[in-house]
Amino acid sequence: MAPKGLLFLAALFVGAFLAFPGSTTGQLLLAGRQSPPPPSRTVNVTVYVEGTVVVYVSHGHPNQSSNVTAARPPPKMEITHTLTDKMPNGIDTVAMRIDFGGKADSLLTTGDVIRTPITIGLSATQATQLGLATGGSKSGRRLLSEAHERARRMVLEFHNTRRSLQQAKSLLDLLRSLNVTSLGQSPKSSVENVQVLARATNKDLFVVNGQQQNISSLTFVFKSTSCGVFPALNATAVRQWWFDGGGIVATMQRYYNACSYNQVTFRPENNLVFDVDIPCMGNVSMGIYDLKNGSGNGRNLDNELYGMVELAKQYLQTNQPALFSRWSSFRRKIFFFPFNWFNKEAATFGGLAVMGCSAGAECYTWINNGIQDQGVYTPVLFQELGHNIGLSHSSRWDCQASIDGIRNVNCTWNEYGDPMDPMGTVPTKDIQEDLTCTNAPQAYKAGWARPIANGQLNLLVDLKPGIPRDFTLPPMALSPNNMLRIVTDGTTNNNATSRALFVSFRVNQAASGAYDSGLGSDWTHFAWVHEFNDTGSGIPANLRSPPVVMAALVANARQQLANGFAVTRFTQVLSNTSGVSITLKSRTASQAVVSVCRFVNQTEEGWETCSDGIDNDWYIYFYNTEIHTLVR
């Protein structure tokens, strides 16, 4: 006979579902009362948990073509949310992937501490497998295995109660091991039901007030003798791409020194690299992993990914215990492995990284290198570590030309479409010698660069209608004070999220490894206009609202078709009655003069009130979600 407490819980559990016979959620049914519902119906088991949010972003290998209008579609970005908590030993971490719904991408940030109900769905058939269709009478249900009986008791005890994340995960793992819940299903919640106990406030490696930041990391380059996997890449090769002093000029150390204006360091003593030989298959705290076929848990690569973390810890515990004791003092952990060495579909990502690292959670990055790769594609790694800081991708709209001259037809969103930023897709001339740095809004977000004197503008306050103002911008390579930031939505608080345009000037530098030494001849000496609706708050960016390329400005119409991307004037219509027009008046190797004008009439005559005497044969404006580029 089952204990009375469990019988009472079972009755409550059954009654809760019988109370909603018309709902889309399935019902737990008393034996013999009526025939089972269709298998498509589900029974929800709800558990309340607390933990720290970790947001991951992953994507396929980028299109490395130098042709910005290439037809190859950009790799798909995937955002996933994980709830984490420290295990009782204070070293290991329990992690559970949770589907919070689409709104979570904008509302939850890595480091947020939350309390939330999570729901595990069971079909009516699966509920029957646990003997839940009998109302708790042991004599009325079929004999269960010991494991099924344990799962049944946990479901009845856990439902509608608060549990540790580790307890909730133990229930989920048990159900999955019994095939009593869908292997491909993550527990569900919704942001409307999330209680935020503490918002992430730490700024991690964002530069604030010029204070230098020092990156620290542990990197593990895996091989597997038992699998027969011997990648060409090893720790020695990675160090050559990491640090200055060898045959590689465009190292990660050089990237950070150059692009952050020496405000972020990547020193050898703080960034250690190890070769690690790991078993092909095994069992870790997350469960079974399988490096040959992938998805040892039957649904995703979580066991392989977190298994590598555990195997890396085991390596240090055995071989360098003193270093292992300092594990938490290294902010980033980076893992290299050719996940697709046997099963080409095992991993769809080229890189997977935490979006915005937090003191309350581990900060991981996995790189899916090719088994024959002898080096590191540094722009990709710089992008993944940029996600760790809290930077989003750099994007643009791709539009095709039509025969009537209107170029805004068949516009598609290119998540990685900025060709001037490693957070987009840069066409690097020589990956060993040259590097291309971030665009103006990304440098502003990271705290690496800022507006010139009087370059922080509020359109409605600082610009009089019809009266252009000229600004002189240095190349971003020459000074961290190098841009205009023009708030266009009337927001007056510079620390608030605002709709804003950024204007900057990019010039190729001749020296190998110098800032923007990777800019080709087709991409140098342009004034760039981006829109980015975020601030330098030190909080990770919203991945769904990245910086967007609006225009590359040239000084005269003869240059505008050099690569099919540049225009002579950018005009943004902000409402039915106003907008802003930006032109590049002149440029040299050391400066660009741009003119910014606010207009108050949407007609062509209104734009012409901002005329600067230049033959502006093209204009471009962005209105709502469409790009309009017209030939006059």
User: For residue range 381-423, what is the model confidence (pLDDT) as tens digits?
Assistant: 999 999 999 999 999 988 765 444 444 557 788 999 999 999 9
Which runs of E-coded beta strand occur in 131-279? 161-162, 195-198, 213-214, 217-223, 264-265, 271-277
Same domain, 48 and 119: yes
Say whether pLDDT at 188 is over 90.
yes
Of residues 606 and 302, more confidently modeled: 302
Tell me how far apart the alpha carbons of residues 542 and 77 are, in angstroms, rounded to a whole number.
13
Do 556 and 574 reside in the same domain of the chain? Answer: yes
- Tell me the mean pLDDT in the region 121-135: 79
Cα–Cα nearest to 395, from 516, 505, 205, 542: 542
The span from the CA of 273 to the CA of 376, in Å, is: 13
Tokens of 204: 């991690």
Alpha-carbon distance of 158 to 608, in angstroms, equals: 69
Residue that wins the pLDDT comparison between 88 and 425: 425
Q: Is the pLDDT of residue 119 over 90?
A: yes
pTM equals: 0.86
Domain final position from 156, 171, 198: 198
What pLDDT shows up at residue 378?
A: 92
pLDDT at 472 over 60: yes
Burial code (b: 16+ CB inside 10 Å, e: under 16) for 552-570 equals bbbbeeeebeebebbbbbb
Q: Which is more confidently placed, 354 or 609?
A: 354
What's the confidence (pLDDT) of residue 184?
62
Taking 90 as the threshold, does the pLDDT of residue 592 lie above it? yes
How confident is the model over 304-326, as a mean pLDDT?
97
- Please report the pLDDT score of residue 523 as a whole number: 86
Query: Secondary structure of the chain: what % helix, strand, coil (to 5)?
Result: 20, 30, 50
Region 230-240: mean pLDDT is 98
CB 356 within 8 A of CB 53: no
Residue 318 has pLDDT above 60, yes or no: yes
- Does any domain span residue 378? yes
**Do the domain assignments include residue 208?**
no
Q: pLDDT class for 494, splitting at 50, 70, 90?
A: low
Q: Which residue has the higher pLDDT, 344 or 612?
A: 344
The verdict on 507 and 446 lying in the same domain is yes
Shared-domain flag, residues 424 and 492: yes
Mean local confidence (pLDDT), 352-364: 92
d(CA 599, CA 607): 6
Check whether 608 has a pLDDT greater than 70. no
3-12, 463-472, 569-578: range with highest mean pLDDT: 463-472
Q: 389, 416, 433 — which closes off a domain?
A: 389
Do 365 and 400 share a domain, yes or no? no
The answer to whether residue 255 is domain-embedded is yes
Residue 89 lies in domain: 4-198
Residues 186 and 225 placed together within one structural domain of the fold: no
481: pLDDT strictly greater than 50: yes
d(CA 10, CA 138): 11
Number of folded domains that form the chain: 3
pLDDT surpassing 80 at residue 1: no
510 in any annotated domain: yes
Mean pLDDT computed over every residue of the chain: 83
Residues 437 and 465 in one domain: yes
Residue 364 near residue 304, CB atoms below 8 Å: no
Question: Does 4 have pLDDT greater than 90?
Answer: no
Judge whether 549 lies within some domain: yes
How far from 518 is each of 74, 194, 242, CA to CA, in Å? 21, 45, 18
Q: What is the pLDDT averaged over residues 308-323?
A: 97
The pair phi, psi for residue 51, each rounded to 5°, is 180, 180
Q: How far apart are CA 391 and CA 382, in angstroms?
A: 11
Q: What does the pLDDT average to over 344-354?
A: 92
Q: Is residue 93 in some structural domain?
A: yes
Is the separation of the CB atoms in 217 and 204 below 8 Å? Answer: no
Give yes or no: residues 186 and 229 share one domain.
Answer: no
On whether both 373 and 427 belong to a single domain, the answer is no
Residue 48 and residue 167 in contact, taking contact as beta carbons nearer than 8 Å: no
Residue 29 sits in the same domain as residue 131: yes
Burial class (CB in 10 A: 0-12, 13-18, 19+), 22: exposed
Strands 42-59 and 351-354: antiparallel
> Is the Cβ–Cβ distance between 84 and 94 less than 8 Å?
yes
More confident residue, 360 or 25: 360
Measured CA distances, 198 to 112, 191, 328, 390 (Å): 6, 15, 21, 18
Q: How far apart are CA 60 and CA 357, in angstroms?
A: 21
385: in domain: yes
Q: Who contacts 514 (Cβ-Cβ below 8 Å, separation ≥6)?
A: 258, 435, 477
pLDDT of residue 264: 98
pLDDT in tens, 20-47: 333 333 333 333 334 444 444 678 899 9
Q: 439 with 578, same domain? A: yes
Averaged pLDDT, 89-98? 84
Last residue of a domain, one of 389, 417, 439: 389
The pLDDT, as a whole number, for residue 177 is: 83
pLDDT at 578: 82
609 three-class SS: coil
Q: Is residue 206 part of a domain?
A: no
Quick one: pLDDT at residue 142? 60
Better-scored residue on pLDDT, 499 or 622: 499
Q: How far is CA 526 from CA 521, 563, 565, 568, in A?
A: 11, 12, 11, 10
pLDDT of residue 297: 78
pLDDT on residue 629: 34
For residue 487, pLDDT beyond 70: yes
pLDDT of 66 strictly over 70 = no
Q: Which residue has the higher pLDDT, 484 or 571?
A: 484
Residues linked to residue 289 through DSSP beta bridges, in sequence order:
282
Above 60 in pLDDT, residue 254? Answer: yes
Same domain? 379 vs 402: no
How far apart CA 537 and CA 556 sit, in angstroms, is 37
| Cβ neighbours, 10 Å, residue 191 | 18
Sequence-ordered list of residues with C-beta below 8 angstroms from that of 375, at least 6 positions apart, any chain: 233, 237, 240, 241, 248, 431, 432
pLDDT band at 354 (very low <50, low <70, confident <90, very high): very high
> What are the beta bridge partners of residue 364?
333
Rounded percentage of the chain residues whose pLDDT exceeds 90 = 60
The three-state secondary structure class of 265 is strand
